[in-house]
Amino acid sequence: MNRRTERQVIKRPDDLLAQARREAEFFDKVYDEVDALHRAENYIIPEHLVREVTHPGARPISYREYACSLLGDLRGKKLLDYGAGDGWNSVCFAKAGAKVWAMDISKKSIELVKKKAVANGVAEAIIAEVRDCYDTGFPSDMFDVIYGNGILHHLAVAKAGRELNRILRPEGVAVFNEPMRESRVLDVIKAVVMRLAHRKPQETTENEAPLTKKGIAPMGLYFKTFKSRQFEVVSAANALIRSKALRRLLLWADDLLIRCVPEFEPLGRAVVIELRRPVKGL
């Protein structure tokens, strides 16, 4: 991609500002409802979720465990939770010893992060603020680690990549979990199954769309190390399954299937993106 094309890709049209406002309004409503639900649980993060972050397995089989295994030892690290959502990741990272900056476009999200930080005894380790993903306002080369869970598919990836490049230290790592759709086959199957199970699809915002290989390719402009690994082929059915044991079995089945027949990986409905060695001076 030449520099002229790159500038066209990352140019921020006026409608991105309008989209950002609509996203903020949408997620303010979402996290207001989530707050009411988590208030009943005293905002406490379940221990099994904390363990996924602080002690990922030697052979992680879920995308979340795999993503956390890429972060390394978080003790003493400056970590940005890029799109902090309901705050449970921020709390887990703080429990793992990181100094956490939690940012989100939704003020209700940030309020929820602060409540969970206090309830889980890590308020001093978390700074939670409303910030813009494209122009965070953080100093250059500030973070050792950047983590995002389901955030890039809401954004203009090239423009987000430039900002991530700026604020990540040269020796740092950025890791993202995202929905991925290289094949529409499983979308059709899921739609049929959900209809048979009388389940409704989750709500999405107007500019939210699963990522593709082509869609995440602009990250290669900004990072010398740019890797991705897909998950959730048969385990995509986990959203419809209540049994924890069966869910775990399907995760193991996915792991074995993809290792034995790599051609199945592009069917995965989730992707973990690993970014290292930011290209400075662009």
DSSP letter for each residue of 219-280: GGGTEEEEEEEEE-SGGGGGGG---HHHHHHHHHHHHHHHHH-GGGGGG-SEEEEEEEEE--
- Residue 253: pLDDT above 80? yes
CATH number at residue 211: 3.40.50.150
- Residue 117: pLDDT above 60? yes
> What's the mean pLDDT in 9-30?
71
Cβ contacts of residue 234 below 8 Å, gap of 6+?
250, 253, 254, 257
- Measured distance CA(162)–CA(87) in Å, rounded: 25
pLDDT at 219: 92
Residue 191 tokens, joined: 């739609």
Tally of domains in the chain: 1
Residue 17 tokens, joined: 């500002």
281 or 140: which carries more pLDDT confidence?
Answer: 140
The helix (run of H) or strand (run of E) holding residue 160 is helix 157-167
Residue keyed to tokens 């639900």: 37
- Measured distance CA(45)–CA(31) in Å, rounded: 16
Q: Which whole-number Å values give the CA distances from 147 to 5, 68, 74, 85, 172, in the listed order?
A: 28, 9, 12, 12, 11
Residue keyed to tokens 């409802």: 33
- Measured distance CA(196)–CA(218) in Å, rounded: 39
> What's the mean pLDDT in 10-25?
68
At 50-109, the pLDDT tens digits run: 888 888 878 888 899 999 999 999 999 999 999 999 999 999 999 999 999 999 999 999
Confidence category of residue 5, pLDDT binned at 50, 70, 90: very low
Confidence category of residue 11, pLDDT binned at 50, 70, 90: very low
Q: What angle do CA 45, 61, 63 make, to 5 degrees?
A: 60
At 90-107, the pLDDT tens digits run: 999 999 999 999 999 999
End-to-end CA distance of the chain: 14
pLDDT at 185: 59
Domain that holds residue 214: 3-278
Instruction: Give Dmax (Cα) for the chain.
Output: 53
> What's the mean pLDDT in 181-201?
56
pLDDT at 55: 85
